[in-house]
Amino acid sequence: MEIKAHFREGRGSPWEARWYVNRRPRSKFFKNRKERDAFIRTFQQEIGKHGDEVFKFDKQRLLLWQQVDEILSDVNPLDVADFWIQHHPEEGNKTLAEATAAYLTHIQRLGRDSNSLRQIRKVMERARLVIGSDKPLKAITAETANDFIHGLPMHAISKRNHRSVLHTTFTWFMERHWIELNPFASVKSPKITLEEPGILTVEETTALFHANEKEDPDICALLALGAFAGMRSSAIARVALAEIDFEKKAILTPAAKTKKNRRQYIEGLPDNLFQWLSRASKKTFDITPREFAHRRQTAFTRAGLLITKEDAKRNGTNPKAPPKNCLRHSFVSYHVALHRNPGHTALLISHKNQNILYEHYLGVATKEDAERYFSIVPKV
């Protein structure tokens, strides 16, 4: 966990210390810099001693749990919580917040992995925010559940995942007799309509790399990680030179750098990827995400694949932009076309569901184009 110092002009206490808990910002304000800096030092010392979790709990409640531990030193606190849940079903109306807290304790005791817990917690936090933390469980109707799921401002896949989590959660509530019916049981899963992925043609990809190989060979190396390894833009800016194995043609991504917090070792990547990577300087892999985004935009502009509204207005042309995530989508489409093995492609991009690749990418590109795509190499 990182804590940063900020200054918020116009506030009575403008000196801010800011950190994030589960990707949500937390702040504490001070009247002067000395107090803020002293807090930051203490914050960092506490994290050094006890880890990130130290600032995620209410200290008063933590003291109460310490007292319980002194009384029952040989008992797991989660066992205490589970015993309470099992023997205090509460015939009255439990609120959504109370029931959620009990469920999270239950699944944590079952040993669910941290990533799964984090995702479930996010879904339940969103449900409490929209439906209401103080809403009695028995007052949550099928109509309320339906409105919540289908009113989420997100993709159908995310809506389906929310329904799945809430259906499982409310089934657990039923098992404890807190509700008679599961309101999410009657909510239909949103229909998922996958759009055809936006990719670059072989000619566009060639133009992108050849227009930049002399001007900015470093950005070509980074773009190659997307175009010829299928890496996400967010991951590209975090790659270290030591994580690239030129001899085995592989890339190691530590768990801390992956979207799902799992270590990934990807091998069997195409030869042309490493030809572009070999031209990169050591400073290439010190790039910040912001700098990478800026130089990527410049590279697309240099190749004629991006024309901003300002440039279009100035030059009397139309704006133009490459498809979103086009490098990753291009890699997947051409790799599937070349090898006709979506399972292999899914393994390279750490995608657990190869069915989507069958349905979404197979047939987007031809094998002939794929052969030309993976033959794009530096001119010199």
Cα distance from N-terminal residue to C-terminal residue, the chain: 44
Q: Which CATH number do you get for residue 219?
A: 1.10.443.10
Considering the domain architecture, whether residues 27 and 116 belong to the same structural domain is answered as no
Considering the domain architecture, whether residues 239 and 294 belong to the same structural domain is answered as yes
Q: Which amino acid is at 199?
A: I
Asked, for residue 195, whether it belongs to a domain, the answer is no
- The whole-number pLDDT of residue 262 equals 61
Give Cβ neighbours of residue 372 (< 8 Å, ≥ 6 apart): 202
Considering the domain architecture, whether residues 225 and 105 belong to the same structural domain is answered as no
Considering the domain architecture, whether residues 222 and 364 belong to the same structural domain is answered as yes
Q: Which amino acid is at 227?
A: A
Asked, for residue 213, whether it belongs to a domain, the answer is yes
Considering the domain architecture, whether residues 271 and 348 belong to the same structural domain is answered as yes
The structural domain count of the chain equals 3
Asked, for residue 70, whether it belongs to a domain, the answer is no
Domain range holding 128?
Answer: 89-175
Asked, for residue 187, whether it belongs to a domain, the answer is no
Considering the domain architecture, whether residues 170 and 206 belong to the same structural domain is answered as no
Instruction: Kindly report the length of the chain.
Output: 380
Considering the domain architecture, whether residues 225 and 346 belong to the same structural domain is answered as yes
Name the token pair of 14: 């403008």
Q: Which amino acid is at 58?
A: D
d(CA 285, CA 106): 43
- The whole-number pLDDT of residue 263 equals 65
CB atoms within 10 A of CB 352: 8
Residue where a domain terminates, one of 158, 175, 192: 175
Considering the domain architecture, whether residues 213 and 305 belong to the same structural domain is answered as yes
- The whole-number pLDDT of residue 127 equals 94
Considering the domain architecture, whether residues 129 and 239 belong to the same structural domain is answered as no
Give Cβ neighbours of residue 259 (< 8 Å, ≥ 6 apart): 232, 234, 235
Asked, for residue 190, whether it belongs to a domain, the answer is no
Helix 114-131 to helix 142-150 angle (10° resolution) is 110
Asked, for residue 183, whether it belongs to a domain, the answer is no
Kindly give the confidence (pLDDT) of every residue in the chain, 380 residues in length, as a single tens digit, with 9 standing for 90 and above: 678 888 887 778 888 888 777 666 778 888 888 998 988 888 888 777 666 665 555 566 667 777 777 777 777 777 777 676 666 655 457 899 999 999 999 888 888 777 788 889 999 999 999 999 999 999 999 999 999 999 999 888 889 999 999 999 999 999 988 999 999 999 998 876 666 678 899 999 999 999 999 999 999 999 999 999 999 888 898 888 889 999 888 888 776 666 556 667 888 899 999 999 999 998 998 889 899 999 999 999 999 999 999 999 998 999 999 998 899 999 999 998 998 888 788 888 877 666 667 666 766 789 999 999 999 999 87
Query: Would you say 322 and 306 are in contact if contact means Cβ atoms under 8 Å apart?
Result: yes
Asked, for residue 184, whether it belongs to a domain, the answer is no
- The whole-number pLDDT of residue 255 equals 60
Considering the domain architecture, whether residues 310 and 369 belong to the same structural domain is answered as yes
- The whole-number pLDDT of residue 43 equals 82
- The whole-number pLDDT of residue 300 equals 97
Q: Which CATH number do you get for residue 93?
A: 1.10.150
Please write down the HEC assignment for all residues of the chain: CCCEEEECCCCCCCEEEEEEECCEEEEEEECCHHHHHHHHHHHHHHHHHHCHHHHCCCHHHHHHHHHHHHHCCCCCHHHHHHHHHHHCCCCCCCEHHHHHHHHHHHHHHCCCCHHHHHHHHHHHHHHHHHHCCCCEHHHCCHHHHHHHHHCCCCCHHHHHHHHHHHHHHHHHHHHCCCCCCCCCCCCCCCCCCCCCCCCCCHHHHHHHHHCCCCCCHHHHHHHHHHHCCCCCHHHHCCCCHHHEECCCCEEEECHHHCCCCCCEEEECCCHHHHHHHCCCCHHHHHCCHHHHHHHHHHHHHHCCCCECHHHHHHHCCCCECCCCCHHHHHHHHHHHHHHCCHHHHHHHCCCCCHHHHHHHCCCCCCHHHHHHHCCCCCCC
Asked, for residue 180, whether it belongs to a domain, the answer is no
Considering the domain architecture, whether residues 94 and 50 belong to the same structural domain is answered as no
- The whole-number pLDDT of residue 372 equals 96
- The whole-number pLDDT of residue 193 equals 64
- The whole-number pLDDT of residue 6 equals 86
- The whole-number pLDDT of residue 91 equals 47
Name the token pair of 287: 């790039």
Considering the domain architecture, whether residues 230 and 345 belong to the same structural domain is answered as yes
Determine how β-strand 264-267 pairs with β-strand 250-253. Answer: antiparallel
For the chain, the maximum distance between any two Cα atoms, rounded to a whole number of angstroms, is 78
d(CA 146, CA 163): 9
